[in-house]
Amino acid sequence: MEPAHLDLQGVSVAYNGHLALDNLTLRVLHGDKVALVGPNGAGKTTLFKAMLGLIPLRSGSIRIHDVPMGVHTDCIAYIPQREEVDWRFPVNVEDVVMMGRYGHLGWLRRPGQHDRAIVARCLEQMDIAGLAHRTISDLSGGQQQRVFLARALAQEPHILLMDEPFTGVDASTQEATLGLLDQLQEQKVTIIISTHDLNLAAERFSQVLLLNHKLIAFGKPQEVFTPETLHSAFAEHMLVVPGGEMLVDECCQPCGDDESWRENS
């Protein structure tokens, strides 16, 4: 059996007695590019935070490179939703990207010439070298996204998680992001991106993980996006138009983080 980069077995996460993730079992293989799809509040952000070890599991286990979480340091890069970032923090672009090197530095070590060269290369790769000394709060949404992508590149991760990276960015930034993901996949970086865009997921990703608190389906887009699985995931948010095409209603688009359902339970 091919080794998995991420191996989840019976993973459940609960908030105040409510299951956000229910008995998730799946294996993401080395170099897969996965679109994580599901309605708002389905547990997508919770899944990312569980993979990062930021929230405790109610049950089950997560293994990375076939060893328990915590054994590897800094092998996962995570780009959160824009709403989770304090853009008022007084830090410039170059310093944000340098944060991607901290896991390689260790305690009390200052960035060296090698680290500065990597940061400069990542700034150039994301076409933001001219913004290096600009404050992060002064940038547009698309520029901020590029900064966080450069920080992830500087980390040199084995696994990249991105939470709704295409929300609120311009078309050129979206295309630059997709192009970067293609390059990383060629380098065998494992990629999981949450998105509400079903067409994008079907066209640009090799695997789709359809989630609504529990695993609905996981596999190639043509295997996952069937009327039955989409109805199971989106239920009342599905709209059937003449010709049999099934669309997702706008009420399923992002309107807050995945844990907002707790406030309305």
* pLDDT digit string, tens, across residues 207-227: 999 999 999 999 999 999 998
C-alpha dihedral, 250 to 254 to 255 to 259, nearest 10°: 130
Burial grade of 185 (CB within 10 A; 0-12, 13-18, 19 or more) = middle
Q: What is the CATH code for 4-264?
A: 3.40.50.300
DSSP 162-190: EESTTTT--HHHHHHHHHHHHHHHHTT-E
Strands (E), the chain: 4-15, 18-29, 33-37, 59-64, 67-68, 76-79, 159-163, 190-194, 207-212, 214-219, 238-240, 246-248
Contact 37, 43 (CB under 8 A): no
What stretch of H or E contains 232?
Answer: helix 227-234
Instruction: Say which DSSP state 92 is in.
Output: B
Residue 45 is predicted with a pLDDT of 94
Sign of the C-alpha dihedral, residues 260, 263, 264, 265? positive
What angle in degrees, to the nearest 10, is found between the helix axes of 171-186 and 141-155?
A: 10
User: 134 CB contacts (<8 Å, ≥6 apart)?
Assistant: 92, 93
What are the domain boundaries of the chain?
Answer: 4-264
Calpha distance 205→48 (Å, rounded): 18
What's the pLDDT tens digit per position in 64-101? 888 887 666 668 899 998 888 888 888 999 999 999 98
Strand partners, 35: 193, 208
The alpha carbon of residue 232 and the mean position of all alpha carbons in its chain are separated, in whole angstroms, by 23
Strand partners, 194: 36, 163
Percentage, residues of the chain above pLDDT 90: 54
Residue 16 is predicted with a pLDDT of 82
What's the pLDDT tens digit per position in 117-162? 999 999 999 999 999 999 999 998 889 989 999 999 999 989 999 9
Residue 248 is predicted with a pLDDT of 57
Q: Supply the pTM of this predicted model.
A: 0.83
Residue 211 is predicted with a pLDDT of 95
User: 259 CB contacts (<8 Å, ≥6 apart)?
Assistant: 15, 20, 41, 45, 46
